[in-house]
Chain A
Amino acid sequence: MARAVHSADELIPAPPASPPGRRRRVGPFALTAPAAVALLLFFAAPVAVFFVYSFLTGAVFSFTAEAPATFSNYVDVFQAPSTPDLLGNSAIVGLLVAVFCLAIGIPVAYWIRYHAGRYQNLVLLAVIAALFASYLVRIYAWRSMLGTDGVINSGLESIGAISEPLGFLVFSRFAVVVAIVHILLPFVILILYAAFRPLEPRYLEASEDLGAGMVNRWRRIILPLIAVPAMSAFMLCFVLASADYVTPQFLGGPESSMVGVQIQNYFKAQGDYPLGAALAITVLVGYLIVQAMLLLGLKLLGVRRVEWRS
Chain B
Amino acid sequence: MARRGLASGIVTAAALLFLFVPLGVVVLFSFHSTGGLTLPFEGFSLRWYEDVFGDDVFLEALTNSVILAVATAAITVVLGTAAAFGISRSTTRLRGPVHVLFLAPVLLPGLFIGAALLSFLSRLEIEPSLATVLIGHVVFTFPFVFLLIKTAIDRLDVSLEEVARDLGAVPTRVFRKVTLPQIAPVLVGAASLAFMLSFDEFLITFFVIGTEQTLPTYIFGRLRRTVDPGINVASTMFLAVTMLAWLAAAIATLRAARTDRATVVLNGAESRPPIANGAER
Contacts and interface: CB of A to CB of B under 8 A. Distances in A.
A touches B in complex, CB < 8 A: yes
A134 B242 contact: yes
A58 B85 CA distance: 45
A152 to B, nearest CB: 9
Interface string B50-88: 000000000000000000000000000001101101111
The dominant DSSP class at the A interface is helix
Interface stretch (B8-16, B258-266, B271-279): B8-16
Interface in A39-61: 39-40, 42-47, 49-50, 53, 61
A118 to B, nearest CB: 14
A244 B200 CA distance: 15
A294 to B, nearest CB: 15
Contacts of B101: 36, 39-40, 43-44
Interface residues of B, number: 95
B203 A144 contact: no
Given A46-B116, A111-B8, A144-B227, A36 B22 contact: no
The dominant DSSP class at the B interface is helix
Contacts of B185: none
B91 A115 contact: no
Given A133-B242, A138-B23, A35 B79 contact: yes
Given A28-B90, A132-B242, A154 B39 contact: yes
A126 B16 CA distance: 8
Contacts of A35: 79-80, 82-83, 86, 102, 142, 146
Contacts of B187: none
- 5 A-B pairs closest in CB distance: A115-B5, A32-B86, A46-B120, A31-B86, A29-B90
Interface of A: 1-2, 4-6, 8, 11-13, 15-16, 18, 24-36, 38-40, 42-47, 49-50, 53, 61-63, 104, 107-108, 110-112, 114-115, 123, 125-130, 132-145, 147, 149-151, 153-155, 158, 182, 185-186, 189, 239-240, 243-246, 250, 260, 263-264, 267-268, 273, 276-277, 280, 284
Given A13-B95, A35-B79, A49-B120, 4 more contacts: A28-B88, A35-B80, A38-B142, A112-B12
Interface of B: 4-5, 7-9, 11-12, 15-16, 18-20, 22-23, 25-26, 29, 36-40, 79-80, 82-83, 85-92, 94-96, 98-113, 115-123, 135-136, 138-139, 142-144, 146-148, 154, 193, 196, 200, 202-203, 206-207, 216, 219-220, 223, 227, 231-232, 235, 238-239, 242-243, 245-246, 250
